[in-house]
Chain A
Amino acid sequence: MKRVITTLALAAAAVFAASVASAQTLNTVKSRGMLNCGANGSLGGFGLPDAQGNWTGLDVDFCRALASAIFGDPTKVKFVALTAKDRFTALQSGDVDVLARNTTWTSSRDTSLGLNFTGVNYYDGQGFLVRKALKVNSALELSDAAVCVQQGTTTELNLSDYFRANKMKLKTVTFATADEAIKAYDSGRCDAFTTDASGLYAERLRLAKSDDHIVLPEIISKEPLGPSVRHGDDQWFDIVKWVHFAMIISEELGVTQANVDEALKSTTNPDVKRLLGTEGNYGEQLGLTKDWGYRIIKHVGNYGEIFEKNVGQGSPLKIQRGLNALWTKGGLQYAPPIR
């Protein structure tokens, strides 16, 4: 129902409003006193509220960092749970100011959907989960298999592509949410369940007997996941982009939530000074305050910290940094300098 309403809202907005996307997102957010963040409502490690309504996850922390940069307060975020197929409509119609929901950056989403991706906060790829009892060791053995998949995802398309490219036969069963897809897989309707590898780790934990299932070695696609905003508001685009960079830079510089106050007082490193706002007016150039970088680290932490806490060793998922290590450590996470 929510989806229908969002879609109709977009249609109505497009038809009647003078202009759908206000170019003044920062002002809107400030005067509302609250950031509206489109997040995943059911994916452990990325976006998930607990019974008390406390949200956790890598994407959730990204929105908290954004709120910290704007308001100096990580709690000034309203999280809106979005399914894969509703997420873009929600952003387009202005329901949310930013979409941080393990969303793959693709050319068509960047162009014809009217989105701007601000960066990649998790380099991912698509994988398969199967029952051990099937004695399958490779995704290439899956010809003729029934695969449960979630609709409105790149996953759905990659799956067809992969089977087609390898001349394998495929039976897909498509569901609106991961919840239903994984339940159907668990009840034996499908031989395999497929989604982003990060999602497989999380979904596997929800199965009745998670040890009876294995993730196959093949990664069949590139899934650069990142936050996105609407086209047409460059200032807002810059802000969201640089919040992500600031978190990477502070990991590079070794500035953490624990030592940021110390660094603020005593550092002599000009890079750190520019990040924390004791030198230059880089925050003001973005339309924020001088100390925007300090606020992010102080309230939320650097990229490495939120990674380990949400999906890494500090979480049940125990995902290795891999591609998501800093570029200096053999990974892909890299940020342009603040200056």
Chain B
Amino acid sequence: MEKRLFTPLTDQVIEELRVGDKVLLNGYIYTARDAAHKRMVEAISNGDMPPFDMKGQVIYYVGPTPPKPGQVIGSAGPTTAIRMDKYVEPLLKLGLKGMIGKGYRSTQVKELLKKYKAVYFAAVGGVAVLLAKSIKSSEVIAYEDLGTEAIRRLYVEDFPVIVANDIYGGDVFEEGRRKFARIEI
């Protein structure tokens, strides 16, 4: 069974999510990857505010391809989340509730999720054409000079993700692997 969620996300919603839950996200989400994270976190440490209010929001780690004429966005699958780990805490402090990416998070980020009540969602990496279909609008709101790495506000409908790390310390990849591992190295 899939859970249909609407952004912004509240603590109560986060508390109900468990590793492995299939979620369909709806509403506005924001894109940011390596360069945008670096800039946002630098801004915060200089006492400035990031380009959008983090409260209850979800960041999608993605750098889309350019849209063809008539398209909302080009191909838009998740990028590897762990590269953003260094930048996560200041954003969680400002109220960020969710991140969408692919791959493992560090132990440190898993602890931060518990501390700040937030979740990490995994989207299926590489199925970039299918994921783009759930994106209904896209608008660059900051750092336009970064090209594909600019911050975009996306409106998504039933964007499919899986809870990869919840606030209870669960990890979808670890649990999945252990179930099927026939050798350990």
Specify whether A and B are partners: no
**Residue positions of A touching B, CB distance < 8 A:** none
